[in-house]
């Protein structure tokens, strides 16, 4: 799984997504937990890969206990998905609310991360998608 490209989102002239974590036409598999649910942790830790730290109202650190093995793609490569209950931020979606991308069949299939301060990627649930070869 590649590191997200470095992007100084706080110095951008216009808000918008960071560069994509995975190049167009490629994919990667995320071995670490990603997305919701987020649970309290005794020690400070990154909430999920490429995201940074989070804490709740009680000051406890939060870490992901979401699925492992997500298939990470450039969001611009996805076709036919629509946003559903997106966890909003200033200019895009964050992955903290869980799966937010719905397939045309109605199933939630992935988590879009598109806010300016997040990595720009689409994490598809390995349990909900399959490859379709031409």
Nearest Cα residue to 79 out of 24, 9, 18, 16: 24
More confident residue, 19 or 64: 64
pLDDT, tens digit (0-9, with 9 covering 90-100), for 92-129: 888 888 899 999 999 999 999 998 888 899 999 999 98
| pLDDT tens column, 5-28 | 766 766 777 766 788 999 999 999
- Rounded to whole angstroms, the Cα distance separating 110 from 130 reads 12
Q: Evaluate whether 120 touches 3 at the Cβ level (below 8 Å).
A: no
Please state, in angstroms and rounded to a whole number, the distance separating the CA atoms of residues 115 and 125: 20
63 half-sphere exposure, CB direction, 13 A CA radius: 10
**Tokens linked to 134:** 């031409």
Q: Which residues does residue 41 pair with via DSSP β-bridges, in sequence order?
A: 61
In this structure, what DSSP letter does residue 124 have? E
pLDDT value at position 133?
Answer: 63
């Amino acid at each position: 799984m590649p590191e997200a490209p470095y992007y100084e989102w706080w110095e951008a002239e216009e808000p918008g997504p960071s560069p994509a974590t995975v190049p167009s036409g490629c994919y990667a598999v995320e071995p670490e937990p990603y997305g919701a649910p987020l649970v309290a942790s005794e020690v400070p830790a990154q909430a999920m890969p490429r995201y940074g730290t989070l804490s709740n109202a009680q000051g406890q650190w939060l870490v992901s206990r979401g699925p492992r093995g997500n298939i990470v793609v450039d969001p611009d490569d996805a076709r036919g998905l629509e946003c559903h209950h997106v966890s909003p931020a200033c200019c895009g979606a964050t992955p903290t609310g869980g799966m937010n991308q719905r397939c045309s069949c109605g199933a939630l299939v992935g988590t879009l991360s598109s806010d300016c301060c997040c990595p720009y990627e689409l994490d598809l649930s390995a349990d909900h998608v399959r490859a379709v070869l031409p």
